[in-house]
Structure 1
Amino acid sequence: MNRRAFVIVIDACGAGELPDAADYGDTGTNTLGHVAEAAGGLDLPVLGRLGLGDVIPLEGVPSSPERVLHGRLHPLGPGKDTITGHWELMGVVTPVALRTYPDGFPPEIVDALREASGRGVLCNRPYSGTAVIDDFGEQHLATGDLIFYTSADSVLQIAAHVDVVPTDELYEICAAAREIMSGEHAVGRVIARPFRGEPGDFVRTDGRRDLAIVPPSRSYMQELQADGMAVHTVGKIGQVFAGVGVDHSHKGATNRAALDATTRLIDELESGFVFTNLVETDQVYGHRGDVPGFHRALQEIDAEVAGWLERLDPSRDLLVITADHGCDPTTPGTDHTREHAPLLARFDGNGHRRHDGPFADVGASVLRWLAGRDAGALPGTPFIV
């Protein structure tokens, strides 16, 4: 039988603070728990049936007698961002924290970007991605200067209006910035953020592009490729891995697009691995402190999972639902939060077991499910017996 594995990352859907959360200023954070409380209870019947309420106590989500393998995952390395979370799920652990710029970028970086782009620079400090276009967008329209900002993550982000800087030109500028941000300044990602609209009504387009550094070590995706198995990514994951270990990258700029792409792959693929990111709980709702929106996004996912469960055969198909970090929308500020990730895994023989372990257990389990082997040089212990 040709086996398949689907790993679904609900971006920023953390499940409670990690032991070192205080080191990141994240004491007491609990994205899922606090969203449940603030929403007056979560309405997630499908995820609840799979055991979401058994991962941690959640208002509105009782313990389920039908729960699948469930638990919480923790990172082995530092960080609380997209790159470290997704990399660790596939067995890539960064030995040191990726470089961040809490005071903005130094003059030599700004000067190099000006020279490479032929444009000036606005902002140059940590900023909310939606607030930055509201606060600097009109000045950008008047001057053509780039909106240049960062966050608590290891990122350099460049925003530009599509009528001032065509999207292809913005991509070229970001590619030049990726080369500049190397060596001692090697941030995890350079992100292009095109937007459109008029002052007071600026909105991001779906043209986001992430230019990531190459993963520093071998991943479980490369192990799968070595055994002749196709690796499909949906959403930004292909870019997060800089294409390393990826055979086919499918678009998924919105949750709807990513959910639809995943459903098509469930219906069409005979075998292989699908690694999906659902971005809106992070990008649209977590960073903006929007609890009702976060809950609605989870409900949309819950409804889609109901259809997947009808299509997937547990004797053939492994389904894993997890996250990459937290972004507690009930806390002050807009940054990611250092949290556990929830784990739900449906497959034949899963029982009702609890499994707590490192993020890398996901990649290890995918390899064992699909290839029937382990990769001893990589971190992680399969929860597939």
Structure 2
Amino acid sequence: MKETIYKRIFVIVLDSLGIGAMPDSEKFGDRDVDTFGHILDRMGTLEIPNLQKLGMLNLHTGGKMYGIENPVGKITRLKEASNGKDTMTGHWEMMGIYTEKPFKTFTEHGFPLELIAELEKRCGKKVIGNRSESGTKIIEELGEEEIETGAMIVYTSADSVLQICGNEETFDLANLYRCCEIAREITMKDEWRVGRVIARPYVGKKKGEFKRTSNRRDYALEPTGKTALDALKDAGKDVIAVGKIHDIFCGEGITESYHSNSSVHGMEQTIEICKKDFDGLCFVNLVDFDAQWGHRRDPVGYGHEIERFDKNLGILLDDLREDDLLIITADHGNDPTYTGTDHTREYVPFLAYSKKMDEGGVIMEENTFAVIGATVTDNFGVKMPEGTIGHSILNELI
């Protein structure tokens, strides 16, 4: 068997931190988009010494910030090969799945009346809302009506999602989850096929008091094929999921899972996992970049979230062992200075670091996110499943 170079690999996804428009971005309705660059332009500077040390600013600059002479990380940017710009497509591609048919979105007119009628009949509740909206805004507007009438708030976003809000006291969490399971079954039809159904519980009795809770639950489609995660698990390796990873892959190929209340919490969990012994992959999604700031078009809030991440990144870098490999990347863009509220089709960063590396620097640009999964499996001497895409760049990361 091939010798394992790294005993543990950490892959951290900064959800939506794209670094500039891909050549085909205009086909997706995106022109001159640049999530990280435009945040830097708006902020001027960011307190991100650890990302700077790894080479993030050698990879992409903006504002008053520039790269350093000798970054310690191996850095490049990745194109997305799949036909999409959403969370599931991006993560699935990282682990070897090519998605040709994009998921459905219902941004312009809400969900079809036929879908809503079936949902109402099977759930036993009237639907209110049914439009593309911010979750906090639609709860503030319709929360009192939901509580008073027993209806349920259904909405979507620019992403391929159907979301159902429910007050934890009057709707009941178990009932909310039941309705979301029904919605997941209904939206398996090709014409209504959304990537995720999301339960969005909240508390409060009146406007001004409503607040979403951490009891969110995502009901994603199962991956369309076997992934690098399945291959690792089948080979007896640990596959530890932090944040949304379990939901994105429907638990497939995962041996241990941690739910995160925020991106800061997700990094704190990752730091704790780093202190433990395991043999395999720790796969982390930090969603607040996207959910809290990108979709809400708040570049300043996004910038401060990057700074919070950088502080915990410093702790993680100190805690890494000699035979650990850290990879930091993203799954798509979500330019908070762009029009609308949709994700944006962008390159994503690839920053790799280990204390075993002799030096850092720029490596060859890659045409698919799938180099990540292929590299992880190659490191552990595990064969990627049949039908997957991607190739290993492990030799570049030594």
1:254 partnered with 2:262: yes
Question: How far 1:108 sits from its partner (Å)?
Answer: 1.9
Question: How far 1:363 sits from its partner (Å)?
Answer: 0.8
1:195 partnered with 2:195: no
Aligned to 1:42: 46
1:10–1:323 contact (8 Å) kept in structure 2: yes
Out of 55, 59, 63, the residue aligned to residue 55 of structure 1 is 59
Could you say what secondary structure the match of 1:47 adopts? helix
2:194 partner letter: V
Q: Which moved more, 1:18-27 or 1:187-196?
A: 18-27
1:143 partnered with 2:149: yes
Q: How does 1:85-96 map to 2 (within 5 A)?
A: 85-96=90-101
1:178–1:211 contact (8 Å) kept in structure 2: yes
Question: How far 1:60 sits from its partner (Å)?
Answer: 4.2
**Gap change, CA 1:72 and 1:383, over 3 Å in 2:** same
1:6 partner letter: F
Question: How far 1:354 sits from its partner (Å)?
Answer: 2.2
Partner Cα separation in structure 1 for residue 142 and residue 90 of structure 2: 31
- In structure 2, the gaps of 5 or more residues are none
TM-score (norm 2): 0.92
Partner Cα separation in structure 1 for residue 79 and residue 325 of structure 2: 21
1:330 partner letter: T
Could you say what secondary structure the match of 1:160 adopts? strand
The one-character-per-residue Cα deviations of 1:351-382 (angstroms, maximum 9, x if unpaired) are 42323211111111111223366667421122
Out of 232, 256, 264, the residue aligned to residue 224 of structure 1 is 232
Aligned to 1:204: 212
The one-character-per-residue Cα deviations of 1:137-159 (angstroms, maximum 9, x if unpaired) are 23222222111111222211111
Q: How does 1:148-297 map to 2 (within 5 A)?
A: 148-184=154-190, 185-197=192-204, 198-297=206-305
Question: How far 1:201 sits from its partner (Å)?
Answer: 3.4
Question: How far 1:161 sits from its partner (Å)?
Answer: 1.6
Out of 341, 349, 352, the residue aligned to residue 345 of structure 1 is 352
Question: How far 1:272 sits from its partner (Å)?
Answer: 1.4
Aligned to 2:25: 21
State the identity as a percent: 38
- In structure 1, the gaps of 5 or more residues are none
Could you say what secondary structure the match of 1:6 adopts? strand
1:9–1:324 contact (8 Å) kept in structure 2: yes
The one-character-per-residue Cα deviations of 1:66-87 (angstroms, maximum 9, x if unpaired) are 2411111111111111111111
Partner Cα separation in structure 2 for residue 51 and residue 270 of structure 1: 28
Could you say what secondary structure the match of 1:277 adopts? strand
2:333–2:343 contact (8 Å) kept in structure 1: yes
1:69–1:355 contact (8 Å) kept in structure 2: no
Partner Cα separation in structure 2 for residue 61 and residue 244 of structure 1: 41
Aligned to 2:117: 111
Partner Cα separation in structure 2 for residue 375 and residue 210 of structure 1: 26
Aligned to 1:74: 79
The one-character-per-residue Cα deviations of 1:193-239 (angstroms, maximum 9, x if unpaired) are 11122313322111111101111111111111122101110011101
2:377–2:383 contact (8 Å) kept in structure 1: yes
1:251–1:261 contact (8 Å) kept in structure 2: no
Q: Which moved more, 1:137-146 or 1:89-98?
A: 137-146
**Gap change, CA 1:267 and 1:227, over 3 Å in 2:** same
Partner Cα separation in structure 2 for residue 203 and residue 12 of structure 1: 24
Could you say what secondary structure the match of 1:191 adopts? strand
Question: How far 1:190 sits from its partner (Å)?
Answer: 0.5
How many residues align structurally?
384
Question: How far 1:270 sits from its partner (Å)?
Answer: 2.8
**Gap change, CA 1:131 and 1:24, over 3 Å in 2:** farther
1:129 partnered with 2:132: no
1:5 partner letter: I
TM-score (norm 1): 0.95
